Amino acid sequence: MNAKVNFQLPEQLIPFYSAADALNAYMLASEAIAQLRTLINQISKSTAQIKAYAHNNNVSQVVFSELENLISVSKLLADSQVDTYNLEFKRHTKESHDQYDAGDLFNTYSLAYENTSWLQTMFYQIKDEAEIVKDAVKQNIHSAVFGGLDNLIHIAAYLADNHSNTFDVEREKYEMEWNKIGGDQND
């Protein structure tokens, strides 16, 4: 007698991820912040060039103080974030678990989303402050001098927004999965 037995394994209730998935999330976050940090450095250089030009045109350097402070805070924030991701990457490389769950990846992408959102906010603050500086010096310096700085700020804000949205999508995906399996009750 040839009877066929229909045998199905039950669906895995809790999907697990590998260390590579966790490492990839930290690497993506680190690379995104490093890109933004590069743009912050370029914004700083452009601001210094404009400030030197302003000095040569007898414009008070005080008008640049707040803009320079915002740029400095952005640099410190980006440096701190890159350091955090690099430490987490190293920690998960050395002490990797066999399995990671959606909650682990939700936490990683939530952090990346929050950090890129902070930098996005900083870029909008820098943009607003650059407009204030531009207005304050318009009698002595043509607004075209600010063209490169404006472009860098817009690129940085766009890139931060893009990264933030990407991390938000990933965060929401893992949050839904985590909530679906009841992970929020286990925290």
- 125-173 per-position pLDDT tens digit: 999 999 999 999 999 999 999 999 999 999 999 999 999 999 999 999 9
Neighbours of 47 (CB within 10 A): 23
Phi, psi of 17 (to 5 degrees): -125, 160
CA distance 169 to 163: 10
Percent of the chain residues topping a pLDDT of 70: 88
Q: Left if phi > 0, otherwise alpha if psi is -120 to 50, otherwise beta: which for 58?
A: left
CA distance 22 to 29: 11
CA distance 134 to 128: 10
Comparing CA positions, the residue from 88, 85, 80, 99 lying closest to residue 20 is: 99
CA distance 50 to 37: 20
SS3 readout for 123-162: HHHHHHHHHHHHHHCCCCCCHHHHHHHHHHHHHHHHHHHH
Percent of the chain residues topping a pLDDT of 90: 74
Find out whether 158 and 39 touch, Cβ atoms under 8 Å. Answer: no
The contacts of residue 49 (CB under 8 Å, 6+ apart) are none
Comparing CA positions, the residue from 5, 7, 30 lying closest to residue 109 is: 30
Whether the per-residue pLDDT at 92 is higher than 90: the answer is no
Report the pLDDT value the prediction gives residue 152, as an integer from 0 to 100: 98
Report the pLDDT value the prediction gives residue 186, as an integer from 0 to 100: 47
What six digits make up the tokens of 22? Answer: 């966790």
- Enter the pTM of the model: 0.86
Whether the per-residue pLDDT at 98 is higher than 90: the answer is no
